Chains A and B, each alone.
Chain A
Amino acid sequence: MSEEKNGGSPGKVKSLFTEIKTHWNTPREGNYVPYKEYGSIFLGVGSNYVGVKILENIGFWASCYLFMHHYKLPYLTFSIIGIINMPLNYIWTLIGWIINDNLGFLPKKTEKALYTLYVSLIGIGLVMTFCNFPFLSTSTNSFIAYLNNMESIGINASSALKILGTHILWNGWAGARNIFWRKKLIPKFGRYKYSLYCDTIPKCIMVILVGWLPLYNIPDMVTRVWVANLLFACFSIFGFGNSLETCSKTISPDMRERLLVRTYPVKLSHFIHTIISIIIPIVVDSLEYEWADINLYRWVYPICFIVPALLTLVFAGKFQERIPQPPLEKKVQIRFWDGIFGVLRNKYLLINTVVGLIDALGNGMLAITTILYLYTFRLAGLPYAIIINLISFAGTPPDLCAPYFLKRFDYKQIMIFYQLTRALGNGLIVLAFIFCGENLMLCGTICIIVMFLMEMTKTIPTTAGHDMNTRIGDYQMYLSGERLESFAGIFGWFTGPITSFIGLIIPIFLLKFGFNSNWDVLYLDESRVKIIAIPLIIDIIGYLLMTIPYIFWDYDNEKQSKVMQVLQRRAEVTEKIAKEQGETVSGGFVG
């Protein structure tokens, strides 16, 4: 009896090798993804992920080291700018949804109207941003006086107008680009990858400029604020999202194949980031001012971003999304109300919204890991990098077993288990802080172990969640003819007031315990315990409540299978009709 027949390891390896070799360029029958694409996914998603993670360190927010150490803007400035931009943002978002969920393909009249609007916005924005209005500094109008009263946080009436102008300029520019590039690139590259082709190169240039333009040396804080806002508006106009990973979620209409891709090439590709995240703290440790060194933004981050960003472009073209859908020329036109009522009919989005709402109980909480590493253990350099990566690695082995767990348990079971483990884990951390808070090593060690276990039990629910979100998109497509990923944002509008209200509670607690823009209060034991424990207790309540909505989750495997069949039939039939009518079509996929 041969080893192969016996099922021995060498035999399995050999058959795996043969399998890969045979289906390197063409997928196995019933599958959609050849093994060659697995390699491209590994390198493409890995590079893309590294780039995205690096960008998390560069942005117009208070915790960005560039602002913390160089621009030195009060944290309140960012909130105020958010409020200045908030009202108009609602309007731009609504328009954006129509464009995005129609993939940029709008009726001619609508397209013309939108272009006119966006060009006008660019003009108005330019005038507001670059012209001065001296009367604003002397006016006694109460609102203008109120704005001028905020000079101590870097904003006055004149600069507020410039900030608003920048916002208008940004939205005009971004809106026009959005229509132009979607229409131009989606037929060729698909709905998820297209932005990489128009944004990556300018993004690389902006990453360099952000570090090298010495705008943080502008002595006047008011000027520094609006100029920084303008710089980062230009920076953020060019996106660099985790597009390839999103694309990989729709790599196949087959659910098991999707999961296989997510579990192996995608998950393993994250190791590239793990390596980078070990190297960066070591490099930073060698800089004169460590995280406060400007060379971090001049050399370290640009190099760490540009190399993977370019690799992303190279590998992006080597795999594709495979959503069963009619050709773009025959796709369903989504009008505004179709989109709104379409997503409101999706029961599963509603359940997720309720869960998200309860999850907001933890909003505003500080990252417990940061507190432990930096303020309890005082880690730096290599030990810091090792512990961070050890904990984030904890989730990897279970994640590799995700196909087994997802076959064995349904979504409802997995998610309820997940919420309960969070509640239990956080409960243990709270107890550790309350009962052994004075014994740093013991308390910290308990927390690290609990966090390690929590990380281990987190990845499978996360994978299940990602998978389910893709399925909800499929279901939405069945319901409305499009995935309506943008219109789904309307739920956020409804829950916004509640999440903002809840989000107020924890920061108020933190403020009471001394937490403000200076994190050093976390060195004070009594404050550290309160700052960690009380928000965690609120969070535990949230996790327990979150189990309730999942009881109503009934979207199972069979329903998903039927949905996919309907989508495939739609693609098949529309393409067939188009061909019969002799039309040229693009962007469709039958599956």
Chain B
Amino acid sequence: MKKEKKQKEQKQYKGMTAPVDVVIDVPDDEIWTYQIEGLAPPHINKPFENFMLKKVVFTVLILIAVFLSMYFSVRVVSRAPFEFNQNEIGYEFTKFNNTGYIKELKIDYATELITNNDVSDPEKNFTLKKDETKPVTSIAEYCFNCDEVVQTIYIGKDVKEIDGKAFYTCRALRQIIVDEENEYFCDIEGVLYNKDKTEIICYPMNYSAYLREKHGYNDVIWPDNDGNDGIWPDNIDFYTAYKADVLTYVLPATVEKIGKLCFSEGTIAALYMPEGLKTIETMAIFKCWNLADIYSYESSTAGDVTDFTAIDKLSGVYRSLPDGLEYIGSDAMSYDRSSNFLRIPASVKYIGHHAFWDTVYKNGDHFDGNEKIYIAASEEEFSNVETGDQWIPTYDSGLFNKKVELVYNAEKRYDEEFTFSEKEDGSLELSAYINVNKSNELRIESADGKAITSIGDYPFKWDIYTETVYIGKDVKDLEGKEFFSLRALKNIIVDEANENYCDIDGVLYTKDKSVLLHYPAAYDKGDTYVVPSMTTRIARSAFAYSDIVTLYLPEGLKEIGDLAFLRAFELKNIYSYKADKEIMTTDESMIADLGEIYKSLPEGIERIGTDGFNYASSLSYLYIPSSVKKLGGYSFCYNAHIDESGNKAGLTQVNVALSEADFKKIKPGDHWAPEFRNETNETAVVNYGAERE
């Protein structure tokens, strides 16, 4: 019965595992030689025919194969540095493969790299040979794709076509400079435009490095491990200044189009767009992680000025994409996670897929970014707009994501001069102030009949107009750091009726003068300052960015706050004094009465905060007394450097009163000592057990 079934199966199926009922008889002496019908015979422990010939043929073939394999593998990684194609209008620059050392490149003629092996330094052992019979007329897409070295590109006069994607992910690129004779393109300070400036083509990915250099931040900010601009979390005060100088860009009023990938992965934090803008192309402002402020303006007299100084020349500035905008390409602004207010004007006709994708995200227990999208049109009008898939950002909501809310009929927002929040007791907190009227005076007293009693953490935008601040009688809870971004501030005047604070010659103190809260950045009553004898603490960022040159500190001072003298570039001398009487006058006329003066931080000081004196680069002598119990990280880190002649400069030595063993016990913060940032990562010499002068 079973046999029948098997036979039936054999008939029915002929597959891989169909039953087979074949038995073969293999004699004991044939186990190594028995040949199965239809298969090759076994060949075990037997000599091969034509063995030598086979070996030779095999060896030759395998050597050829191995050689070719290696050749092709090498070919994969080795490419000519410059690749050009001839086309109808001249030569197209199709691919640039950096040797790793070409930081500047001029695209004018077909170029060849000549290596000089007699020079061992790879940065200097090559020259670029130009063939002037072959003018470059176009630059192909992805020509510089993923280059991480080239910093400046010069575009020659003959270039007629540039694909906007040519410089995609060119991470080190700081500037694209166009020959003035070029009829098709131009640049505004290293940003690429078409000739009539109606289209911005490329904002170099590392443009911020150029601006850092320009505005003196060269050694202040460096790219973090992800290649983004690194901002120390503690330096939020400093960020305000940095944002204005380096991370703000104003598009000229002529611009009608932002090209593909133009700002892609750029570092901008604030972008001002003109009302004439019609098109924001695909991925134009993609992954601009820092971009928090999107402004539009009605008109401008700034001309070709594109940095923050142009903002003063703009009128009708409001928060929104510009009225008149018609086209928003796919992924145009996706992953702009810092964006917190987005309004789409009524003129928009097309929004591409994922245009605002991932601009809202979960941050701990709350959401950051665009929690709502504001739309100028009504719901009915907006239904006529052509939209791509998933153009509305979504946020994490349990298992699956939810779309953000769309708010229709939304008005554009103008910056208000004062923003207050009402407190439980009915008084007000000044949470934001924008000097829209360019006033040189700010009064923090009352509004709408209500007293202003406090100021928010960082209420002021970068401000170069305010010279005097009046603090009313009801204000309390000040820390001093609030005034950091008032760059033109000369005077702080406190109402005498204020029970909490006072001013001495325009410098802000607590009423009992035990804490010096803020020394104005543009203080104009001399460059020498004597801190009163009853002061025991200098507040966070109190002297940061100031022009103070000589400072006298009382022996009773216990604490210098975090960032207190950050970037006080002119600070040369720090003295401490031990007066027999109360010292209240703060100008240099008082010096004769100061009693014993030491070239030292005051004996008795216990804490120097993080970044306390960082970047006070004119300081050349320092004595840390034995009373110090806490020394913050980076407190003097960037106070030494190698000068242009290659010599060590700045704080080359630090004198410490404590012995080395005792000093270690106070566990000074990381990188507290001055560093030269040279190849060997040297730090300043520390003289332990030093006597004070």
Contact = CB atoms under 8 A, between A and B. Distances in A.
A72 interface: yes
Contact of B142 (A149, A333, A378, A514): A514
A135 to B, nearest CB: 11
Contacts of A411: 16
B309 interface: no
B285 to A, nearest CB: 13
B69 A496 contact: yes
A150 B55 CA distance: 40
Contact of B24 (A80, A138, A566): A566
Contact of B17 (A256, A507, A563): A256
Contacts of B72: 497, 500-501, 503-504
A579 to B, nearest CB: 14
Given A408-B13, A480-B42, A520-B287, A566 B26 contact: yes
Nearest to B149: A152
Contact of B26 (A338, A439, A516, A565): A565
Nearest to B55: A337
A466 B69 CA distance: 28
A507 B79 CA distance: 13
Contact of A562 (B22, B70, B282): B22
Contacts of A338: 45
A309 B72 CA distance: 38
Nearest to A413: B15
How extensive is the interface on chain B, given as a class? 35 or more
B24 to A, nearest CB: 5
A148 B58 contact: no
Task: Give the bracket for the number of chain A residues in contact with chain B.
Answer: 35 or more
B66 A573 contact: no
B76 A79 contact: yes
User: Which of A411, A479, A481, A520 counts the most B-chain CB atoms under 10 A from its CB?
Assistant: A520
Interface in B599-628: none
Interface in B306-343: 330-331, 334
Nearest to B71: A497
Contacts of B31: 566, 569-570, 573-574
Nearest to B126: A149
Interface string B73-110: 11111000000000000000001001111000000000
A382 B36 contact: no
Secondary structure of the A contact surface, majority rule: helix
A378 B390 contact: yes
Contacts of B100: 149-153
Given A140-B117, A347-B40, A516-B169, A72 B16 contact: no
Interface stretch (A81-89, A110-118, A425-433): A81-89
A405 B120 contact: no
A582 B264 CA distance: 80
Interface string A118-147: 000000000000000000011110100100
A525 B38 CA distance: 55
Contacts of A87: 70
B379 to A, nearest CB: 22
Contact of B66 (A139, A347, A493): A493
Interface in A370-426: 378, 381-383, 403, 405-411, 414
Contacts of A101: none
A29 interface: no
A406 B76 contact: no
A524 B125 contact: no
Contact of A464 (B16, B61, B71): B16
Contacts of A345: 40, 43
A557 B42 contact: no
Nearest to B145: A516
Contacts of B74: 83
B36 A563 contact: yes
Interface in B1-42: 9, 13-20, 22-24, 26, 28, 31-32, 34, 36-40, 42
Given A337-B51, A523-B286, A569-B26, 9 more contacts: A83-B74, A145-B120, A148-B120, A152-B99, A333-B45, A378-B354, A440-B388, A468-B16, A525-B282
23 contacts: A76-B77, A83-B70, A137-B120, A148-B120, A152-B99, A153-B100, A338-B45, A345-B43, A378-B358, A403-B17, A409-B16, A410-B16, A481-B45, A493-B69, A501-B68, A501-B72, A514-B165, A516-B169, A523-B330, A524-B165, A557-B16, A566-B26, A574-B31
